Amino acid sequence: MREMMEEEEVPKVKAFMRRDPPRLSSDGSLEDALAEMIGKDSGLVLVFDGDELLGMVGDSDIGRLVAKGVSLREAKMMDFIAACMLTGNQPCVQIRDEDSIVNALRVMDLSNATNLVVVDKNDKVVGTISVLDALRGWREKV
């Protein structure tokens, strides 16, 4: 097995991203978010206001809230989302669909993120990619 690969040999993010990640409007509850995650077997939900991506909520976020006794039915997503900015504990970090899987892993490492929002050349959200999705793509080429 090769340890290093040339960047051009590495698959693109678009080949391994989730094209239909769970999406909810900003007025939804965390209970709605959990139902979407379970229904689509995904570790996160993207939160939108119309076409504008506001942030995301992850399964670990919801797990922490359940452990603290927070009612998911009453909790509004907007109070708990990781906002789409480059600051904060778990920022909503974006990557282009044409970027390499290795670059996605680098971005995840540098930003301490386990999921990235994938955008196209027009900055339109086209999916998400997790660490496992990226590793699956990397492994196919090793």
The per-residue pLDDT for range 79-124, each reduced to its tens digit, is 888 666 544 444 578 999 999 999 999 999 998 888 999 999 998 9
The answer to whether 32 and 24 are in contact (CB under 8 A) is yes
d(CA 25, CA 15): 27
Residues above pLDDT 70, as percent of the chain: 87
Task: State the pLDDT at residue 83.
Answer: 64
- Fold classified for 9-141: CBS-domain (3.10.580)
d(CA 76, CA 118): 25
* Per-chain mean pLDDT for the chain: 86
Residues 57-72 have pLDDT tens digits of 888 889 999 999 999 9
Alpha helices in 40-122 (DSSP H): 59-67, 101-111
Angle at 139 between CA 108 and CA 7, to 5 degrees: 65
Please check the confidence at residue 53 and state whether its pLDDT lies above 70: yes
